[in-house]
Chain A
Amino acid sequence: MLGEFEYLMITAAAGLGDKAYGAAIREEIEHTTGRNCSIGALYTTIERLEKKGLLTTWMGEATPERGGRAKRMVRVTPKGVKAAKDFYDVVIRVSRGASWVANRTGSTS
């Protein structure tokens, strides 16, 4: 099963589609979660997911705002989509009885 950060990475990459690359994924994760995402965590996770066959990467085009340096483009594979879906289903299932789930009147107030 995926780890939490791996799930975030796959979801961000899938959401960005053809525009998924290192800096964009990092920005998306930081923007969505409000947490800092280090370059180290980003690239080691990309490599790990690629080894598992959940992502594919290749060197993309260079742009002036990157000082003429190429992007490492990322695409989620069908296996990656399935792994993310499985993770999501598990989170939904395990959260059913939790007091913070919207449709439950819990005693947390």
Chain B
Amino acid sequence: MTAIGWSFVEVAARLLERGEREAVLGDLLEAGESGLQGVLDVFGLAVRRQLGLWKDWRPWLASFGMALPGSLLLMGFSLSVSQTYQRLIHPTIFKATGLTVGPGFTLFLCNVFLLVGWSWTGGFVMGSISRRTVRVSAIISFLPCVFCLARFRVESLSRFCLLLFLLPAVWGVCQGLQIAQIKMRSALILAAAITLLTIPTWTSKGSWIPNWALSWPAWYLVAMAWRSEARKERERWRTN
């Protein structure tokens, strides 16, 4: 195998997990296959591995229950928060009145916290329930973003206002990948806070669909934490 061919194989092998990559690269070297054949072999294995993961329900839930609808709804909510900011805060700063803010400031703050909460919990669930397919989930969540960014037509706002949710969501994904689960008390506080923050929107018709589509990850975290604690309790009871 030529050096260039081998470097392509090594790049392709990054799609595999570390232990498997080691064994597969060694096997390819030992077999003395061509660079092209090596790349095809590695891609074949990576595709099989990825397809194998999708036999489980979790990647489907993360991608099509969370990433796709979540990014679409959070973009809409980011836009709404940006417009509220423009209406309430922006004129205040330029009028140099300093401390006075327009009516509805509390509601605006609630919406900011809600945006952060929804984005973080959504990202956390996406990262924790399907770690190995998180790249695919990320791509799926970016598709509506690209579409909306290309068609954004609000002149008074930057199109990047649509992506306000991105930072807390990425933070949530990283946390989900690292710790997978949060403690019962934290999960409950988070879910209760998110639900409380949605109360002002309960009066508007049709808001319950996006509310629950974005709030379920918080309650999912509660359910997971409760299940984990119940399991620990059972094990403790068994050992005593």
**A→B interface (CB under 8 Å):** 21-23, 26-27, 38-41, 43-44, 59, 62-63, 65-67, 69-72
A26, A59, A63, A65: the one contacting B22 at CB < 8 Å is A59
Assess whether A39 is in contact with B19, with CB atoms less than 8 Å apart: no
Q: What is the CA–CA distance of A41 and B41 in the complex, to the nearest angstrom?
A: 9
A27, A41, A70, A72: the one contacting B31 at CB < 8 Å is A27
**B→A interface (CB under 8 Å):** 19-20, 22-31, 41-42, 44-45, 47-49, 52
Closest to B25 in A: A69
Q: What is the CA–CA distance of A40 and B45 in the complex, to the nearest angstrom?
A: 4
9 example contacts (A-B, Cβ-Cβ < 8 A) are as follows A40-B47, A40-B48, A43-B24, A44-B48, A44-B49, A59-B22, A59-B23, A66-B27, A72-B19
Assess whether A39 is in contact with B29, with CB atoms less than 8 Å apart: no
Of A21, A23, A26, most buried by chain B (CB within 10 Å of CB) is A23
Closest to B24 in A: A39
Assess whether A67 is in contact with B26, with CB atoms less than 8 Å apart: yes
Known contacts A22-B26, A23-B30, A66-B30; 17 further A-B pairs (Cβ under 8 A) = A21-B23, A23-B26, A39-B24, A39-B27, A39-B28, A39-B45, A40-B45, A41-B48, A59-B19, A59-B22, A65-B29, A66-B25, A66-B26, A66-B29, A67-B25, A69-B29, A70-B23
Q: Which residues of A contact B42 (CB under 8 A)?
A: 39
Assess whether A22 is in contact with B45, with CB atoms less than 8 Å apart: no
Q: What is the CA–CA distance of A39 and B42 in the complex, to the nearest angstrom?
A: 7
Q: Which residues of A contact B48 (CB under 8 A)?
A: 40-41, 44
Closest to A58 in B: B19
Q: Which residues of A contact B26 (CB under 8 A)?
A: 22-23, 62-63, 66-67, 69-71
Q: How far is the CB of A12 from chain B (nearest CB, A)?
A: 14
Q: What is the CA–CA distance of A27 and B120 in the complex, to the nearest angstrom?
A: 49
Q: How far is the CB of A42 from chain B (nearest CB, A)?
A: 8
Q: How far is the CB of A65 from chain B (nearest CB, A)?
A: 6
Q: What is the CA–CA distance of A39 and B30 in the complex, to the nearest angstrom?
A: 13
Q: Which residues of A contact B31 (CB under 8 A)?
A: 23, 26-27
Q: Which residues of B contact A40 (CB under 8 A)?
A: 41, 44-45, 47-48
A22, A44, A59, A62: the one contacting B27 at CB < 8 Å is A22
What are the 3 tightest A-B residue pairs by CB atom distance, in nearest-first order? Answer: A69-B26, A66-B26, A40-B44
Q: Which residues of A contact B49 (CB under 8 A)?
A: 44
Of A40, A41, A63, A65, most buried by chain B (CB within 10 Å of CB) is A40
